[in-house]
Amino acid sequence: MYTKTSNFMKVTVKLSYNSELSSPLDHHYVWQYKVTIENNRNETVQLISRHWQIINSGGKLKEVIGEGVVGKQPILHPGNKFEYTSATDLDTPTGIMKGTYTILSDVGEFNIIIPTFSLDKPGTNSILN
């Protein structure tokens, strides 16, 4: 589990390798991740966009930038949490993933940090982490 708190918002990522969807012979590796976003601020906020950086063990960067997460732009009241599950793939058995969410509050926009986490196929030596 990976956790990071920034701007009074906590982001936790739980990760698992999906061997059923992966095909190592075809250089295709898949991980599923569950993200929990917790609003520890004294105000209601809305997640409006995401920016992910997914880097394979060769340093190849893939960026994912878009509105919301899994088709939603959740509103989080003080003390509330939002959870979603998604997946990513690489062409190498190891890599890393990191990013930010853009949050809207009554006083404007700010970013919160998604903790950097390691994508490692079980049984492989991690090169990046």
Domains assigned to the chain: 2-120 (2.60.40.1470)
Q: Reply yes or no on whether the pLDDT at 5 is more than 90.
A: yes
Q: How far from the centroid of its chain's Cα atoms is residue 111's Cα? A: 14
Q: What integer pLDDT is reported at residue 129 of this predicted model?
A: 44
State pTM to two decimals: 0.90
Mind listing the pLDDT tens digit for each residue in 13-34? 999 999 999 999 999 999 999 9
Q: What is the pLDDT of residue 124?
A: 76
pLDDT at 62 over 80: yes
For residue 42, the model assigns a pLDDT of 96
Q: What is the pLDDT of residue 53?
A: 98
Read off the pLDDT of each residue in 105-128 and give the average, rounded to a whole number. 87
Residue 126's pLDDT band (cuts 50, 70, 90): low
* CA–CA dist 36, 102 (Å, integer): 15
